[in-house]
Amino acid sequence: MIIIEKTNQNLNIGKNSTISFGIDFGTTYSLIATTISQNVFIISDNKNRALLPSVVNYSNFSKPIVGWNAKKLITSDPINTITSVKRLIGRSLKEIKELFPNLPYNFKSNKDNTISFIINNSLISTSEISSKILNELKNRVMSVYKQEISGVVITVPAHFNDIQRQEIKKSAQLINLNVLRLLNEPTAAAIAYGLHLKKKGIFVIYDLGGGTFDVSILNLSKNVFEVLSTSGSTNLGGDDIDYLLSNYINSKVLSLNSKNISTQIGLLDLAKKIKIKLSSEYYVKTVFKSYSFCITRMEFNNIIKPIILKTLKICKNALQDAKVSIENIDHVILVGGSTYIPIIQNDVMKYFKKLPLHSINPDQVVAVGASIQADMLTKKNKKNNIILLDVVPLSLGIEIIGNIVEKVIFRNTKIPIAQTREFTTFKDNQKSILIHVLQGEETLVKNCKSLSKFILKDIPQKLAGKIIVLVTFQIDVDGLLSITAKIKSTKIEKNICINFKN
């Protein structure tokens, strides 16, 4: 069994000892932890707060405010206070406007189809904002240990695409953090519970955080953690619950239907507070702009029922992909702050017919698992090491004639992996070939996520179908993609790693 505790005190690990950390970079809150022997320490701030709000305020652009002090400015300075930046990572301006139409920020679309914030006439990327949050966690460590961090494991939603994973890694690199591995959040939770309770069997990790939902099915044996399938959504989380509740209050309770930004931000902040109170109380009486009203838990349950049903549908798909029936599930683990909500706990229990495990704080379990993995990757002692077999969350392929996506690697394939497919030219005397890389499960290009385009030039001019192109997709343990395209029987070749410059 592992022991978990908070600390903001120096643990006297020794000057020559290497120390690594696990970071849970969350939509709403972030944490950092380290493992020493069998003890996991959640690093808290000087007020003994383990959670760091994932909020950055740029009212003073040269000296941004991060965390708790920034959180206080959400309602008074909404335009300069960036919240839930994790939800915007790797997204296009079009996606953001469709998914989050009421955000108070000003954006600029970048050439690589991502966005930058326009703040005080300056541009700042999502990776730069994310790096401020990671740096605040890093500063916590530096104030406690007074020594450099040898490496970090950073967790990401299992359903993050390649571009989003690359941006998280880039955010860490901006502040000189050595990323040992990007670890899927549900897998991190499984590591924590697998080593904490020494349990074996088929696990379901139900992870509903602030902005994302993941579910993973794992088979845990003595030292092998095998992910059987993973599924989820990067558009489903506690933020969506807050929006539903604030909209309900705005239109049904107060009949305001206000489009005013300050009113919307104020209602959203109120909705968060009501949501938290309704986890322990059956009704909440409150006042907003001289309006007195009451929200009951039954009302709240009805409001969020569609979100719960969406998560359970995703769970059903994950079970089908894993070829596992509900009857074969041994343990269910709840992860993420949104799982404190009683109806979510109850509906998950009913669906899987199992009482969920919650001996590790759902807010901390991902950071705990990440710190254990970081310790294993940096220590020479392999006694407690595990074999981790993770999977690709989304299928990868390239565009072919007819705006169709030809899959090269399918979702839930074990990683690391390399896969090669043969393609041919489609017209006579073709001089170049455009390789368009896509991610997603749909057949049509327009319904998948475009990751990159590159051109293979100076190919021999022959009849259509006579030139053979070998395209190899390679995915590493972080789930990051690199591609090689080569003309068979020639030296013409191009290699590419998916990142923002490609």
- Residue 461 has a pLDDT of 84
**Residue 357 has what DSSP assignment?**
B
- In angstroms, the CA 9 to CA 36 distance is 14
pLDDT of the residue at 96? 93
| Two structure tokens written together for 93 | 């301006």
Least Cα distance to 186 among 223, 221, 222, 212 occurs for 212
**Residue ranges, CATH 2.60.34.10, the chain:** 394-497
d(CA 353, CA 375): 35
Within 363-436, residue ranges assigned H as helices are 365-378
Query: Could you name the CATH architecture of 238-304?
Result: Alpha-Beta Complex (3.90)
Alpha helix (H) ranges present in 175-322?
185-197, 238-248, 261-277, 297-322
Length of the chain: 502
**Residue pair 370/378 in contact by the 8 Å Cβ criterion:** no
- The residues facing 283 across adjacent strands are 296
CB 357 within 8 A of CB 175: no
Q: Which amino acid is at 417?
A: I
The domain covering 394-497 belongs, at the CATH homologous superfamily level, to Substrate Binding Domain Of DNAk; Chain A, domain 1 (2.60.34.10)
Where does CATH 3.90.640.10 sit in the chain?
Answer: 238-304
Burial state string for 145-154 with b = 16 or more CB within 10 A and e = fewer than 16: bebebebbbb
Q: Which residues pair with 22 in a beta bridge?
A: 33, 153
Answer whether 373's CB lies under 8 Å from 390's CB. no
Residue 15: phi and psi, rounded to 5, are -65, -30
* Sign of the CA dihedral running 14, 15, 17, 21: positive
- In Å, the largest CA–CA distance within the chain is 77
Place of tokens 């300069």: 80
Distances (CA, A) of 497 to 239, 454, 490: 33, 11, 22
Cα distances (angstroms) measured from residue 324 to each of 208, 213, 229: 21, 20, 10
Q: What angle do CA 137, 139, 140 make, to 5 degrees?
A: 65
| Predicted pLDDT of residue 476 | 87
Is the bond leading into 342 cis (omega within 30 degrees of zero)? no
Euclidean distance between the first and the last CA atom of the chain, given in angstroms as a whole number: 46
Q: Which residue stretches of the chain have pLDDT < 50?
A: 381, 500-502
Q: What angle do CA 449, 452, 456 make, to 5 degrees?
A: 140
Nearest in space to 183 (alpha carbons), one of 123, 252, 223, 230: 230
Q: Residue 501: its pLDDT value, please?
A: 37
Cβ-contact 182, 170 below 8 angstroms: no
The residues that are catalytic are: 24, 86, 185, 207
CA-CA distance, 441 to 230, in Å (whole number)? Answer: 13
What's the pLDDT score for residue 224?
85
Q: Contact at 8 Å (CB) between 354 and 19?
A: no
